[in-house]
Each structure stands twice: as structure tokens, then as C-alpha cells.
Structure 1
Amino acid sequence: MGNQPWLNLYPDTIPTHIDLEHKPVHAYLTEAAERYPDKKAVHFMGKEFTYKEMHESSLKMAKYLQDIGIEKGDRVAIMLPNTPASVIAYYGILYAGAVVVQTNPLYTEREIEYQMKDSGAKAIVTLDILFPRVSAVFNSTDLKHMIISGIKDFLPFPKNLLYPFIQKKQYGMTVKVEHSGSNHLLPEILKISTPDPVEHVLDFEEDIAILQYTGGTTGHPKGVMLTHKNLIANASMCDAWLYKNKKGEETILGILPFFHVYGMTTVMILSVMQGYKMILLPKFDVDTVLKTIHKQRPTIFPGAPTIYIGILNHPELSKYDLTSVQSCISGSAPLPVEVQEKFESLTGGKLVEGYGLTESSPVTHSNFIWDQKRIKGSVGVPWPDTDSKIISMETGKPLPAGEIGEIIVKGPQVMKGYWNQPEETASILRDGWLYTGDLGYMDEEGFFYIVDRKKDMIIAGGFNIYPREIEEVMYEHPAIQEVVTVGVPDAYRGETVKIFVVLKQGQQATEKELDEFARQHLASYKVPRIYEFRQELPKTAVGKILRRKLVEEEKEKQSNQKSG
């Protein structure tokens, strides 16, 4: 694999190479049900389900899909929050030999229609409250069947009876769907008495397990083809990294949505592979998260910076005991050093930053969690079987330590390509290397640092300015809870720096104060010229701040000013 100085840092407890078992993703649920039939696999809002129950339910789903005409290689979408239904649907689709299409429940009708048409999905598993939205585009797609689940289907008594009233209060409506025609109710499907789906022979290396659509920050979203090998490789790497965890004994907090590749791999697939218990939360609510950790005592807590920030800024944080948390890998966005230090002090556990992309299943790098050297502000070193280097954006040749260039990665977790987009695939996958579009550098020891997205870099007066550096500095200001930096057009400098700020509850800060703070810690050309205070920032479902949305707002604002 060439020059890999980071391998010298690996402890004996982490292998540099993992021999993968050539088994499809769902084979691990079969094994878990055989090894831990009565062990709790899922905890959901007070009700628990064993591995045997989850396995049997997934087989029933698979059998039903096959009975309504789903064949090997067909695409079936899942548009659900984290519920037992999302796990049953995921493994049921795979047992049926089909391909999962992960769909965000927050999607609008236009976004649903685009993704269903692009993937050619024949069926979709969704929530009763989302039924009207999917129904509106159903006939303009290839969809033939809709499988509907409700939150109440998996709640304990009496919550299951009360939930429809809560739903009506929250959403202003309740939805009733009949189990007939193209509409199918999950509770009816799970009444099947003989779950014996036809087994398909799958090619571990070539057959696609899921189509995971990217966020679409450049043009239309693209379907990332992830094979069974891609997903098993990345979950196996994650298990190797978390070497102190004990098979069959850990409890993992499932806040990260499974329709996002990070939650799917590091929570759902890893848990099933290792026989862990998953605590599923359908949405991120700080009060619920704190109560859940206090009561259910999870040991593993994958998350995103906004989740940890939300916890640290809760006014009644001291009421809750979070010391069960032993290991957390943060992804999806840069982890401020201040947040890392405070969270570790609070829990006594370890919180480290990792790095990855949808196109790599997703994790490629992470800091060591225990015992070994780790560097705050770094995304760590490549995972087992993963190669990475920094290349010049001008020449494409590898750069020496310390020089900024584009990060490229190679490994068994790297996607097969984009669905039906050979040109896009060829532009990002070259000779097995994934060109990430992220700018960074590697130090002499092999630790990697993300400077910014290539397309997010601000060029002001000829200077290259990296938003992440500004954000790291501003996060140190005691009044700031969240901050994001964008470049806005400037007649003199070409671009200038603007930051959007969310202040902590009960805190105050003026533009003048923040400007003085920035000037103490940043070179003058990096200091923000424009400040905008907001109550909240736009985010993805996984908590990643949507920088591009703010950029688009600025462009629209400038355009309106010119036309006005």
C-alpha cells in the first residue's frame, strides 16, 4: 500500500488487516438469533425485542416481499425513523435478495419522487404519518406497493393506545390505512406463520446491498452503490477499532438515523454483527436522550457534534448520570476540541473524531480511542486495510507531510460506484482510489487533518481561507453554541468571510465583542467581516450543519439586492 507511517502507531490489539468472512449482511442476523436467541436486540420506548423475534420478523417481511413479486436485485425503499420496523424492513429486504434504498423521512414530495424514479424502487416501507406524502407521488414512479408501519405498532401498553392522540396533537391528523390492494400494513405482515423466504445466492463482492443517496449539494443526489462487502468490511473495521468492547455485552445508543450511512453501519450493522442491544430513538430530543442514557446505561454512543453540543448545553445536565458511556466516535462534521474535552470530563468515557464519506460506507479514519496517542483537532489515522494520501490539486501527485492537498482513500469499504452514473463514477473513482474532494494534510506520524471541503474554501484577496479553522477559534468563545462560516461575494476581495452564530441559552454577545475575540486569535485576512445571529442553523437529519444552504441563501439575497 506504499508509505503508511500510521501503521507504526497501531497497538497490538488492533489488526492492520482483517480477513473478511464472505457472507451477506443479513447472515449476521441469522447467526445472532442462533447464538443469542433470548438476548434483547432492540429497546424502543419501553418495549424490548429479542434477537429471535427480530430474526423471525425479518424473515416474515422477506417472505411477504417475495409473495408480492419482489425479486433478486429489485429495489425496495425504507422511509422510516429509527424504530423496530426500520431494522425489520432492512434485514427483510436483504433476506428477500433485494436492494435497500435508504430514504430520508423528511423528504418533500419532489425529493421522494426523484429518488423513487432514479432508483426504480418497486416498493416502499414507510410510516403511517408519511402515507399522504408518498401517495401523492406513488403513481408517477415505478412503485407498486407501499408497506405502512406506525410508531404505535411497537409501543408497550398503554403507550400504544395513547399514541394516536399524541400523534393527532403533534401532527394535526391521524392516518388510517386499510390492508388491501397496493397498501400493506406491517402488523398484518408479521402475522405470517411460515416465514420461509426463498434464499438467493449473493455475490459478496459484487452484489449491491443498499443504494445510499448523497445529500445532493452539487446537482441531483446520486445513489451510492454499497455492496455487502463494503458494509461488512466497514463494520468489521469499527469492531476492530473498538477492541475493548465485548461481544454480546454492549449497549449502543441509536440516535443516528439508520437512513444515514453512519448510523446504519456503526449502530445497526455493528450491533447485529456483535450481538449488542440497540436503544432506538426516532428523533434527537435532548431531554429524551439524557433520560435514556441515565436509565438504560448505554456503553457506546456514536454521534455528531451537534448532538454532543446539545447535551453539554442542557440547563439541567447535572441531574443525569452519563458515566455508563465508554466510547463515542463523532462524525458528519468537525468536532470542536472544547466539546470533546467537556464531554469526556462529563462522562469519563472517550470521545474521538472520525472521518468518512457516504461513498466509503462511511468511515475511513479515526483517532485511537484507548491507550494510544491521539491528537485533538485531527481526524486520526486510517482504519485497518485502508490507505490514504494527500495529493496536489495541480499535479495530482502525492505531497509530503504538512502540505495541504486533496485527501484520497482506498480500501474494501469504498463504493462500487454511483447508480446509473458511469461518468460521475469515473470522476471520483480512479484506479481504486476515492477522490474525496476534501482538503487536508498528514503529519510525519500519519495523523490526518481536515482543512475543509475543496468547494467550501474561501478565496479572499488572493488568500486561501478555510472555514473550519475560523469555526474552531470561534467555538472557544464562551457564549457561542454553534457557528458556521461561509464565503460571500465581495466587490473588492472577491469573497469575504461571514459567520452565522447561535448563542448558548442565557448568554449574550455583540458583533463587536466577537470581532475583538476573532482578531485576538486569527490573522487579519481570516477575521469575519459579517456576523449574523440566529436562533438555529439548518441541519441534516444527522445533525450536520447545511453550510451550502446558507451559501445559497446569501447568493439569493445578493441577487435580489442587484435586481432591486
Structure 2
Amino acid sequence: MTARAIFPTSYDKETKIWSGVPRSTLYDYNCSVGQVVYNSLKCWATNVLQITADDDTVLTNGDVLALASRIALYFRAEGLTHEDRVGIIGRGSTYVMPVATACFFNTTPFHAINSSREPQVVARLYSVTKPKIMFCDASDYETIKDICKDWAPKIITLTGRVEGVPSVEDLIKPHPAEASYKPTPLATGGDQTAVVLCSSGTAGLPKAVMLSHRHLCSTNSFCFSYDVLYTSASIDWMTGFSIMVMSLIYGLTRIVSEQPFSAGNAAAIVQKYKVTCIAMAPWQAYELYTSPLATAETLQSLKISFVIGGWISLALLRKCQALLPKCYIMFSYGTTETGIVTVNIDQSLENSVGRLGPGMRIKILGENRQPLGVNEVGEVLIDIGLKWLGYLDNAEDTAATLEDGWINLGDLGYFDADNNLYLVDRKKDLLKYKSKHYWPNEIEQIIAELPEIEDVCVVGVRDERYGDAAGALVIRKEGLEITAQKIIDYVAQRVVVDYKQLNAGVVFVDHIPTNVNGKVMRSEARNIFDERSK
């Protein structure tokens, strides 16, 4: 029986390439996303574009147009061009969207980073883009000031006030030129950089991913203008960013909040604002759909439940579908570099990420770089149908990721006879817990500092709630003793963020599996951990 799918996917037996439906081309190739958004905002001025759940602040199309135009006029007065950068590091507050929209209008790329990242990671990321203006919450002002001291940008608060520091509210006062304001034309065409988002790369450090105006103008929407969307993801995560762009282009109502995700908050927001589409990370979906607050009554407005960003159990997806029989339960595979690649709505498929989205093509390559066919496992290479700009100031990793124009992120997978994609391993050794990426090597180095440790291998243990929980296989030095709790406590002291701690615990072993070249076989190590920890 053919699986259910939103998008058809075809397979060319000659080229051994799988293709999604063609991507619709609605705008000129050299049209800026700022111009597209500007035109959209000028229509239906009373359409509600955003509601801040924390205080019920409402922004209409007309409001966002006015606010963004005023901020863009400020950028223009400050001399910002397409060659500069604006930094945005803030939670889901009211003025994040107008600031981002102003950047689109002025064709000045913004670099968004999550405020929960460790300061040294934020410093490393912003040292690449060196924004001339930084927007942050007042609570993060001192940290951001210290991080950016080498290039001393102008810092503006998004929420709260700091004495002597301008606030975004100072920028949004009525301006005499706003009525005649027009977005800045692109200087170099549609492949000009529109935004810089963060991704974790093969070297283990987050990288600055550049996305073009053409890429953003090609954003597809599953929803209609009357839909109400909610995600706790901020705009530094591709899901949060894409929903903001969809809202601006298609007029969807977006619910934002500064509060961290919880099942209680999510259920209350869905019920209060009659949310029709919710987008969550797998651990968030687990928390919501296993909560007693998730009932057919509280979630009755939902038409689409979108899960993206990691592994999720089929049992949970089926539970969601049983709870909401008229709702599309979507599970997706996507990356910052590519956007959404596949979507699966068929809960009869074990562990499939589904079929290709519009404009996407995939080929599977074997060890000798030969194209593979149906049910053959190899590296997944993706063609997004657009020019990919790569990583900012990182030619080496850009070249390593692009293989003859195809994006290779190191994922292993295969297609079945019905053109459904299956991923059999995570990209390289990168793991994700509660939507935060981490590298096992970082934790291994900390554990190896203990004098009782002979060898260690950290693996990602699948946790239905949060994703890849870190677990350590440990070999003790002969004649020395150490407890699992001492190792867990030592890591907790060295790594303050919870997603890098040993949330799956410690298992003591006599050997760690390696291949003939001495490289650790993490998949086998994970299996050993699973067996020993039962």
C-alpha cells in the first residue's frame, strides 16, 4: 500500500536521483525579501500579524510596517548597508519581528543567536560577523558588552532599560519620512546574503550559515492567512525563523512569548488563541502530548502539529494522531543549511522522515561516490534548487560541505520503494538534547581529566522526551576505583548547562569498540550502553 504524503516524490532510475515537485517561482530572481514583505504588509493593514502571549500586545500588518520602517530609517541614518551586520540575541519579545523586518528592508543581514548559549560560544560566533549594532535584552547587556568589547558595537535593548543605553522603543517613535519610505534595492542580486543563522558543523563548533534573499523569497507555507501559529523557537533556530518569514509573507498570525516551553504554557496558548499550527522540537512534543493537559478539548483548534529537529518515537506520533484525528501530525527532516527537506504524515512508516518538499532533490552515494538505488544505504546529498551561500568566512568547511554543488552534511540514509527517506545515523557525531547541539568529544575530554579513567566514549542515548541524552562508556585504570556518581558530579561541575551533562548516566566496560583504523564505532558503543544500562 502506498504511504500517505503531502508532497509527491519521483525517482529517476537512470540518474538515481529523487526529486520533489518543482518549487513555485512567484517573484523575480533579484527581488529582495524586504520588498516582498513590504508589499505584503501594505495590504490588509488591520490583519493581526503577531500577538505577544505575555501581555497580549497585538501587532497588525500596519503596525509592523510602521515600526520596521522607522527602525530601517535609523539603520539608514547610521550608514548601515548590505555589507554590515546587525546582531539579534533575544527571547520571543514583541519587537524582535520589527527589528528583523527592518533588516530585510535595509538589506542589512542580521545574525541571530540563542540567548541561552554559553558566553564563549556566543563570543566565537559574533567574532565572525562583528555586528555594528547589537539588539539584546537588558538582562544580557553586561554579557553582550563584554563579548563585543573588541569591536564595540552600538548596543540597543529589546526589553528592559539600561541607564545610558538606547532602547528599541527610542527607535520606533513616529518619523517624518516613514510615509514615503521604500525598501533598499539589492546591490548584487538575489544571491545577496539576507540573514546569518547558526549551525553546528563537522569541526564541532557552531558556524555562521548564510541564506540569500532568493532563498527566503522561496519560502513555502503549509498554512493560510487565517491560520494562527505558535512555536517557542526563537528566530535563531530555523523553525522559529521560517515561521516568522511565513508570517510576514503570507499574513499568518504568530504567537510569541518570552516564557520557556512547558506543556502547561503550550496548552494554554493553543486554547486561548485558538492556535491552528504548532511547531515543536521532539522533546517538546513529548512533554505536551504526554501531559494530562493535552486533551481533545484543549487542543481542538489544531490542524497541524509539526515536529522537527531530531528523533521522535513512532509510538508518540501515533498517540498524537489518536488524540487529534483531524490534525496533520507532521514529522520533518531539515537543517539550517537546507531548510525543510522532507515531511512525513504517515504514522504507519517506522522511522521514516517522509518525502521530499518542493524544489528538493536527493541522491544517495556509496563509499566510492557511486549513486545508489532503492533500499541502499549511503550518504545523503541534497540539492535545494537554489544557490547555497555556505558558511561566512569559512571557505574550508563550505568546500567540505558542498560536493559538486550538492550539500553533504554527513547523514546516512536510504529511500524505500515508495520514495520515503529513512535516516539510519545522525550527522557525524553531533548530538542534540532539548534542541541544543553538543559534541560528545567535549564531555569525553572532561571525563578523561579524572586520574581513575583509562578511556571513555560518550554516546547519545535516545530519550523519548528530550532527544540524545549523554551517556558515558568508561574504562577504569587497573587497580583504581571510581563511582559512576563521582563522574556524573564531576561533569556537572565542569559543564553548567544541563544538555551537556551525563543525563543518561555511566556504564563501566572493559573495552570500547573501534574499527580497524582505531576509530571509535559510536553506533556500536551506543548499543553496548543500551544493553549494559538495562
TM-score between the two structures when normalised by the length of structure 2? 0.76
Match of 2:84 in 1: 74
CA gap of 1:124–1:336, structure 2 versus 1, over 3 A, is same
CA gap of 1:102–1:352, structure 2 versus 1, over 3 A, is same
CA RMSD of aligned residues (A): 3.4
How far is 1:122 from its partner?
0.9
Match of 2:335 in 1: 357
Q: 1:135 aligns with which of 142, 145, 150?
A: 145
Separation (CA, whole Å) in 2 of partners of 1:511 and 1:406: 31
SS for the counterpart of 2:76 is helix
Deviations 1:351-391 (A, max 9, x none): 1211111111x211112x4xx89734211111122110211
Match of 1:277 in 2: 253
Separation (CA, whole Å) in 2 of partners of 1:414 and 1:356: 17
Identity of aligned residues (%): 19
Match of 1:397 in 2: 370
Note if 1:249 corresponds to 2:249.
no
Separation (CA, whole Å) in 1 of partners of 2:227 and 2:426: 35
Note if 1:145 corresponds to 2:154.
yes
Q: 2:214 aligns with which of 221, 229, 235?
A: 229
SS for the counterpart of 2:278 is coil
User: Are the aligned partners of 1:96 and 1:198 in contact in 2 as well (CA < 8 Å)?
Assistant: no
SS for the counterpart of 2:280 is coil
User: Are the aligned partners of 1:66 and 1:197 in contact in 2 as well (CA < 8 Å)?
Assistant: no
Separation (CA, whole Å) in 2 of partners of 1:68 and 1:444: 57
Q: 1:383 aligns with which of 354, 357, 365?
A: 357
SS for the counterpart of 2:33 is coil
Give unmatched runs, 5+ long, in structure 2. Answer: 1-6, 13-19, 431-439, 441-458, 477-487, 489-504, 508-523
SS for the counterpart of 1:54 is helix
Q: 1:25 aligns with which of 28, 33, 36?
A: 33
Q: Which amino acid aligns with 2:399?
A: A
Structure-to-structure mapping, 1:323-334, within 5 angstroms: 323-334=300-311
How far is 1:451 from its partner?
0.9
Structure-to-structure mapping, 1:293-308, within 5 angstroms: 293-308=270-285
User: Are the aligned partners of 1:82 and 1:254 in contact in 2 as well (CA < 8 Å)?
Assistant: no
SS for the counterpart of 1:339 is helix
CA gap of 1:84–1:291, structure 2 versus 1, over 3 A, is same
How far is 1:222 from its partner?
1.5
Separation (CA, whole Å) in 2 of partners of 1:36 and 1:232: 20
User: Are the aligned partners of 1:456 and 1:486 in contact in 2 as well (CA < 8 Å)?
Assistant: no
Note if 1:528 corresponds to 2:530.
yes
Choose 109-118 or 36-45, whichever is displaced more.
109-118
CA gap of 1:490–1:452, structure 2 versus 1, over 3 A, is farther
Deviations 1:88-143 (A, max 9, x none): 111111212211111111133323322222112111111111111112233223x4
CA gap of 1:17–1:230, structure 2 versus 1, over 3 A, is closer
SS for the counterpart of 2:337 is helix
Separation (CA, whole Å) in 2 of partners of 1:303 and 1:24: 29
How far is 1:32 from its partner?
2.4
How far is 1:230 from its partner?
1.6
SS for the counterpart of 2:120 is helix
Deviations 1:251-295 (A, max 9, x none): 111322211122101x11112211111011223132111111111
User: Are the aligned partners of 1:253 and 1:300 in contact in 2 as well (CA < 8 Å)?
Assistant: yes
Note if 1:424 corresponds to 2:397.
yes
SS for the counterpart of 1:257 is coil
Q: Which amino acid aligns with 2:59?
A: F
Note if 1:119 corresponds to 2:92.
no
Q: 2:185 aligns with which of 174, 197, 201?
A: 201
Structure in which a larger fraction of residues adopt helix = 1
Which one scores higher on RCO, CA 8 angstroms, separation ≥ 6?
A: 2
User: Are the aligned partners of 1:17 and 1:385 in contact in 2 as well (CA < 8 Å)?
Assistant: yes
CA gap of 1:446–1:65, structure 2 versus 1, over 3 A, is same
User: Are the aligned partners of 1:96 and 1:200 in contact in 2 as well (CA < 8 Å)?
Assistant: yes
SS for the counterpart of 1:418 is coil
Match of 1:452 in 2: 425
SS for the counterpart of 1:29 is helix
Deviations 1:441-460 (A, max 9, x none): 111221101111242499xx
Number of residue pairs aligned between Structure 1 and Structure 2: 446
How far is 1:79 from its partner?
0.6
Structure-to-structure mapping, 1:482-561, within 5 angstroms: 484=469, 488=473, 528-531=530-533
Q: Which amino acid aligns with 1:206?
A: D
TM-score between the two structures when normalised by the length of structure 1? 0.72
Deviations 1:210-234 (A, max 9, x none): 111213573432111110112222x
User: Are the aligned partners of 1:87 and 1:268 in contact in 2 as well (CA < 8 Å)?
Assistant: yes
Match of 2:481 in 1: none
CA gap of 1:25–1:431, structure 2 versus 1, over 3 A, is same
CA gap of 1:319–1:352, structure 2 versus 1, over 3 A, is closer
Separation (CA, whole Å) in 1 of partners of 2:163 and 2:333: 42
How far is 1:18 from its partner?
1.6
SS for the counterpart of 2:353 is coil
Match of 2:167 in 1: 185
User: Are the aligned partners of 1:290 and 1:320 in contact in 2 as well (CA < 8 Å)?
Assistant: no
How far is 1:148 from its partner?
0.9
Q: Which amino acid aligns with 1:531?
A: S
Q: Which amino acid aligns with 1:387?
A: R
User: Are the aligned partners of 2:227 and 2:275 in contact in 1 as well (CA < 8 Å)?
Assistant: yes
